[in-house]
Amino acid sequence: MNKSSRLSHSFGFSEVEQREREEKIRAVFETVAPRYDRMNDMMSFGIHRLWKRTLVHFVNPQPGEQIVDLAGGTGDIAEKIAAKGCQVIVIDPSEAMMAEGVRRKLVGVEFRIGSGEAIPLPDQSVDRLTLSFGMRNMTDMGEALSEIYRVLKPGGTFYCLEFSKPAWWIKPFYDFHSFYIIPRLGAWVARAPVAYNYLVESIRRFPDQQEMKALVENAGFSNVEYRNLSFGIACIHMGEK
């Protein structure tokens, strides 16, 4: 897939705004890195762990496969995949986030600095690629999807776990939790209310299930489908090269 055929999806930001957004995102994760996993537990009442186990179940990693966990941060997903006998490369732009994973000395997991828009891997070198709650932090999702497509081997699969559009009947409660509870938890536990205000805003801007499906298809993937989790609060998107 050449660059001219790539689909751009940068949330309507100009190039300057994209650069500013990228710097802001990195600053956010440097701020919250030491408490990130603990905050996820508190914000989701621990449900994010169930979502991630479900993701690994869908991936169904096989021993000997080369798997990348893009925007893998502290390595919590990579650790679960590596336990299946795979070698996992975590690629993330935040050294602070990855330092938490390096400190835990995860077996079978390698950490590398890199962004989704410029994955530091050769063409057709990866069997599977996972991306958990990181797609909404890309400055250009179309570019990131093109990069993911590039590094996957033919027949390789992509799995994206991300927040999505919840069912109508749960949305009022979800919105209240997102806009009022999460920033206060961020201020109390992570001592970073501005960071968590950003994270909530990034969830609000993210494409819904059908829009995201279309983006993955337009990037060249086939057999694209999605599975809602917790009534659509989160969603796993899947596609094959």
Q: What's the pLDDT tens digit per position in 195-217? A: 667 777 888 889 999 999 999 99
DSSP state of 179: I
Measured CA to CA, the distance from residue 84 to residue 86 in angstroms comes to: 6
The single-letter code of the amino acid at 181 is I
C-alpha closest to that of 110 among 97, 101, 100, 118: 101
Per residue of the chain (241 residues), what is the pLDDT tens digit? 433 333 445 545 556 555 665 666 666 667 666 667 777 777 788 899 999 999 999 999 999 999 999 999 999 999 999 999 999 999 999 999 999 889 999 999 999 999 999 999 999 999 999 999 999 989 899 999 999 999 999 999 999 999 999 999 999 999 998 888 877 776 676 566 666 677 778 888 899 999 999 999 999 999 999 999 999 999 999 999 9
CATH ID of 12-240, from 1.10.1270.20, 3.40.50.150, 3.30.70.1140, 1.10.3720.10: 3.40.50.150
Domain spans in the chain, listed from the N-terminal domain onward: 12-240
pLDDT at 54: 98
Bridge partners of 92, per DSSP, are 113
Q: Read off the pTM.
A: 0.87
CA distances from 199 to 82, 138, 240 (A): 28, 12, 29
| Residues 30-41 pLDDT 10s | 766 666 777 777
